Structure 1
Amino acid sequence: METIHTAGEVRLDWEGGEPIPDGAVVVAGDRVAAVGTFAEVRERFPRARVRRWPGVLGPALVHRGPVPDAPTPRERVHAVLKLGAVAVLEEYADLPGLRAAAGRTDVVVVASAAPPVVREAGRADLAVFAEDGVCVATVCAGRLVHRRH
């Protein structure tokens, strides 16, 4: 089943590309099926579940610093997800337990990273940020893995 993630503004990248007002991203499995205005994608995917988010929806981030401290590797990975990131740099994921926890949640460990983008057929890694910059929700490989209450 597809899910439409929609917000008042969707960004395909965080590098200054033009935002899509009343935008939406359709997620099917672990992939992006479509991007456009909510009206456009709703017409193409009338049976999809809809998740409306406050804030700006865009690509999930790469966590570029040390993984936050927590009692267990799983909690450390979840702390990264709460920041809107679904990837960590290899140099900061150097412990086997941390890499295993990342793998179980589909968080990617990368040697280096290009700026993240949302594109059709790409992996469905999304994040929603409130006006104050706090992460509202994180989607990792198509799954909602963090939602601020």
Structure 2
Amino acid sequence: MLTLHTAELLVAGPGSTPLPGGAVLVEGDRIAQVGPYEELAAARPHARVRRWPGVLTPGLLVRGADELLERTYYPDDPYEIAELGADPIRGQAALAELTMTESRWGNSARRGTQKLLARGVVAVTGRFTVPSVRTAVVRSGLTVLPSAARPSGARPSGARPSRGRPEREASLDPFAGWDAAEQAFHGALEPDAPARFAVFAAADPEELLTLGATSCVATVIGGRLLHRRR
């Protein structure tokens, strides 16, 4: 099936010129074409159309996801919120009090991966040692990359962290700590590339750093819509 995703602004990748009214044509799990919506729609009139508000970009990359999924516990809403609160729980002492089991880690990781998908994340790095967590990550659809990997689009060539800035801690928000939104992109939107991208309720890429990844309205991985803001 052909699906045409279009937004108010399309940013195909790091360094690319934003395209107003741009669109991505998806066939199966790959990108077939990228360009102005009117042109793609005219060429493929039978494609299903999904219109999104805001900015459509490559999906995002989170580094150190083992910290987020194997050393952070996400309380089950609504069952544990009254007792534990809604915030993620970290730290050896706090986790020890929860008497964590592999099953509990797996359930927490499933909630964690949903939070990542809801922030436009399509890929993570990390070394997952808990089998139930590893299973949750694989089933989520997220791509797992080696920790040392720097995929195309994750950081512009030659870019460096600002002077004086400490090493970035693992965060659910892939934009946190970067100077430009494109530093969080994973790959680029181009023909034959995997169909994985996100849409954010923002006016332009610069606003993404202010709004954060919780402005995500949709996440597509392998051509499938895995998150849609209700």
Q: TM-score, normalised by structure 1?
A: 0.90
More divergent stretch after superposition (71-80 vs 115-124): 71-80
Number of the residue aligned with 2:142 = 107
Q: Identify the residue that residue 140 of structure 1 maps to in structure 2.
A: 221
- Out of 119, 132, 147, which is 1:97 matched to? 132
Structure 1: stretches of 5+ with no match in the other structure: none
Contact 2:63 2:126 survives alignment (8 Å) = no
| Structure 2 residue aligned with 1:52 | 51
What residue identity is the alignment partner of 1:103? V
Task: Name the counterpart of 1:76.
Answer: 112
Distance 2:132 2:220 in 1: 22
- How much does 1:80 deviate? 0.9
Task: State which of 123, 126, 149 in structure 1 corresponds to 2:194.
Answer: 123
What is the rounded CA distance, in whole Å, between the counterparts of 1:124 and 1:98 in structure 2? 25
Deviation at 1:105, TM superposition (A): 2.8
Mapped partners of 2:226, 2:60: distance in 1: 14
Change (3 A) 1:110 1:8: same
**2:7 aligns to what?**
7
2:90 corresponds to which residue?
none
Decide which structure has greater strand share.
1
Q: Structure 1 CA distance, aligned partners of 2:68 and 2:116?
A: 7
Identity %, equivalent residues: 42
Cα distance in 2, alignment partners of residues 3 and 51 from structure 1:
7
Q: CA deviation at 1:29?
A: 0.9
CA distance in 1, matches of 2:43, 2:228: 26
* Alignment size in residue pairs: 147
Root mean square deviation, CA, Å:
1.6
Q: What SS does structure 1 have at the residue aligned with 2:135?
A: helix
- How far did 1:23 drift? 0.3
**In the TM superposition, what is the alpha-carbon distance from 1:67 to its structure 2 partner?**
2.8
Which amino acid in the other structure matches residue 127 of structure 1? A
DSSP 3-state at the match of 2:68: coil
How far apart in 2 are the matches of 1:94 and 1:61?
23
What amino acid is aligned across from residue 113 of structure 1 in structure 2? R
Q: Is the 8 A contact 1:67 1:77 kept in 2?
A: no
- Separation of aligned partners in 1, 2:20 and 2:3: 19
